[in-house]
């Protein structure tokens, strides 16, 4: 199942990328209320191949998020296995005028077994969560008091 949401943010692509990708471990829990904490598993700055342990509000086990693509100021792709669900998240960032960016989030979700049959029923819930996260990212990146 694929879902997409997008928004224009009044900041240049480098600022949006820094918030969404370069500082992902710190910022993801700030925009996603389902994520409690992300702990890096690899030393150094985030790059393709970097991993982090993700702790969610609901869920007995932690999961590991792996960065699949890290293209500065343009593209971030990560993959997480959440029980029977596999989630690949893509953030595409592009210029959208003077000092403005377009951020598109794309979620590709797959599930094994019977749970896969439930995905279409969960689509509205996932869509609302993605929209809330995107709105929060916009609010935080545009805030003059933001701390990234």
What are the pLDDT digits (tens) for 9-61?
A: 999 999 999 999 999 999 999 999 889 999 999 999 999 999 999 998 876 67
Q: Which domain holds residue 136?
A: 2-142
DSSP state, residue 66 = E
Q: Looking at residue 15, what is its pLDDT?
A: 97
**Number of domains present in the structure of the chain:** 1
pLDDT tens-digit readout, 84-131:
788 899 999 999 999 999 999 999 988 877 767 776 777 777 888 889
Cα–Cα distance measured from residue 26 to residue 140, given in angstroms and rounded to the nearest whole number: 13
Of residues 131, 99, 141, 145, the one with CA closest to residue 33: 131
Residue 40 in any domain: the answer is yes
Residue 64 in any domain: the answer is yes
Look up residue 101 and give its two tokens. Answer: 């960016």
Residue 147 in any domain: the answer is no
Q: Looking at residue 19, what is its pLDDT?
A: 97
Question: Is pLDDT of 148 > 50?
Answer: no
Quick one: average pLDDT of 128-135? 91
Angle, helices 115-142/24-31, rounded to nearest 10 degrees = 100
Q: Looking at residue 57, what is its pLDDT?
A: 86
Residue 148 in any domain: the answer is no
Burial of 61 (0-12, 13-18, 19+ CB in 10 A): exposed
Q: Looking at residue 59, what is its pLDDT?
A: 67
| Alpha-helical runs (H) found in the chain | 13-17, 24-31, 115-142
Where residue 113 sits, what CATH number does that domain have?
3.30.530.20
Residue 145: pLDDT band with limits 50, 70, 90: low
Residue 16 in any domain: the answer is yes
């Amino acid at each position: 199942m694929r879902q997409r949401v997008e928004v224009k943010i009044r900041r240049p692509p480098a600022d949006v990328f820094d918030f969404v990708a370069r500082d992902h471990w710190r910022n993801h829990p700030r925009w996603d209320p389902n994520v409690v904490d992300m702990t890096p598993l690899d030393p150094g700055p985030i790059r393709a191949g970097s991993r982090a342990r993700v702790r969610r509000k609901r869920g007995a086990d932690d999961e590991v998020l792996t960065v699949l693509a890290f293209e500065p100021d343009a593209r971030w792709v990560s993959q997480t296995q959440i029980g029977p669900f596999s989630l690949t998240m893509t953030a595409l960032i592009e210029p959208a005028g003077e000092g403005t960016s377009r951020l598109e989030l794309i979620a590709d979700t797959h599930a094994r077994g019977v749970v896969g049959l439930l995905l279409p029923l969960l689509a509205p819930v996932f869509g609302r969560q993605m929209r809330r996260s995107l709105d929060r990212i916009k609010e935080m990146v545009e805030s003059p008091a933001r701390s990234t």
